[in-house]
């Protein structure tokens, strides 16, 4: 299904934001990154802005990226320079500006762990500002940019904090095991010789085994958030589910819950729960309608709720 918007604007320089007559733009105004985490269900009545600023600036142990820089290109650069920080976030689709909005994360690392500064245009004040990430109320796939700041700031650049010192995060998603299979020793004595490039390459191998290539099969990436539940709820779940203790409770992979409900590979019209990773809903035929995807989403949520008493929430933003 193809959708349209009332007006589309490409922001190619920060000065473009100063010349816009905001009051005359079709409302609402939405900032679009790579679009990898959006599900358009109908035509959009307002204005879509895409910030395509792709400048980059390096300092000793940080890197400032324009909001339009492809995030994985930044990850590749950092790893090639032997700098630690974003390697576990390799191959996550999207652009750098969106990383600060969504607090993207994977394999034990989140964007908030490496963001040092955010430059943005403040529509309320009509000027450019620098935002301290400590004020962004970052949480699991959320930030103030998605709540009380929504629509106020337009991010133009993100500065990431990097490190020359080895700081591998290996205890998530089978990273350590995958490294050992490759013959890479990851004991505490040898981690000092591990490189961010090796970790990045391993992360990419793991992701490619589990996730569809968006250039081949359409999807919006991880469709559901992994739920965090109280310990008493977790203790009632049979089957020894994989889990992680986090602030606020115990995180359970939504993929495990979905698979336990028999939805791995399930289809509704052109939509399908991906066979290799049930956290993902794909456009299996290339012709899935919004109703197909939303209907399958509802079936999954209802099934998990009925079986485990846990309500899944979509990570994908519905527009």
User: What length is written for the chain?
Assistant: 319
Residues 219, 276 contacting (CB under 8 angstroms): no
Which domains, ranges and CATH numbers included, belong to the chain?
A: 1-165 (3.30.465.10), 175-210 (no CATH), 218-318 (3.90.78.10)
Q: On the CB side of 105, how many CA atoms lie within 13 Å of its CA?
A: 19
The reported pLDDT for the residue numbered 37 is 82
95-139 confidence digits (pLDDT tens): 999 999 999 999 999 999 999 999 999 999 999 999 999 999 999
Catalytic residues: 141, 222, 315
Listed in sequence order, the residues at least 6 apart from 126 whose beta carbon sits closer than 8 Å to its beta carbon are: none
The reported pLDDT for the residue numbered 21 is 94
Listed in sequence order, the residues at least 6 apart from 319 whose beta carbon sits closer than 8 Å to its beta carbon are: 30, 38, 39, 40, 41, 44
Q: How far apart are CA 135 and CA 155, in angstroms?
A: 15
The reported pLDDT for the residue numbered 78 is 95
Backbone angles phi and psi of 286, in degrees to 5: 80, 0
CA angle 193, 111, 165 (to 5 degrees): 25
> What is the mean pLDDT for each group of 10 consecutive residues in the chain (319 residues)?
90 96 95 86 94 91 95 96 96 94 94 98 96 96 94 97 91 84 68 85 91 77 89 88 86 94 94 91 88 94 96 90
DSSP 1-19: ----EEEEEEE-SHHHHHH
Which residue(s) pair with 219 in the sheet? 282
């Amino acid at each position: 299904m193809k959708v349209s918007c009332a007006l589309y604007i490409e922001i190619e320089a920060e000065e473009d934001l100063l010349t816009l007559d905001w009051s005359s733009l079709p409302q609402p105004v939405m900032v679009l990154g790579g679009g990898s985490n959006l599900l358009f269900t109908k035509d959009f009545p307002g204005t879509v802005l895409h910030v395509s600023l792709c400048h980059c600036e390096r300092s000793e142990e940080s890197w400032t990226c324009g909001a339009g820089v492809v995030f994985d290109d930044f990850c590749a650069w950092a790893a090639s320079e032997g700098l630690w920080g974003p390697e576990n976030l390799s191959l996550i689709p999207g652009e750098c500006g969106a990383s600060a909005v969504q607090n993207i994360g994977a394999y034990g690392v989140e964007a908030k762990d490496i963001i040092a500064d955010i430059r943005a245009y403040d529509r309320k004040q009509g000027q450019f500002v620098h935002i301290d990430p400590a004020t962004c109320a970052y949480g699991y796939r959320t930030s103030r940019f998605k709540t009380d700041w929504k629509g106020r700031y337009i991010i133009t650049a993100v500065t990431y904090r990097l490190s020359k010192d080895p700081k591998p995060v290996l205890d998530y998603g089978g990273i350590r095991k995958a490294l050992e299979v490759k013959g890479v020793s990851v004991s505490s004595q040898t981690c000092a010789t591990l490189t961010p490039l090796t970790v990045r390459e391993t992360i990419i191998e793991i992701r490619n085994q589990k996730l569809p290539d968006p250039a081949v099969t359409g999807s919006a990436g991880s469709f559901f958030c992994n739920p965090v539940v109280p310990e008493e709820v977790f203790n009632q779940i049979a089957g020894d589910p994989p889990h992680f203790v986090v602030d606020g409770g115990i995180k359970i992979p939504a993929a495990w819950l979905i698979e336990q409900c028999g939805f791995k590979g399930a289809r509704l019209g052109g939509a399908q729960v991906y066979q290799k990773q049930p956290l993902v809903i794909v456009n299996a035929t290339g012709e899935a309608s919004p109703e197909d995807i939303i209907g399958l989403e509802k079936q999954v949520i209802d099934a998990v709720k009925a079986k485990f008493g846990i309500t899944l929430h979509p990570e994908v933003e519905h527009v």
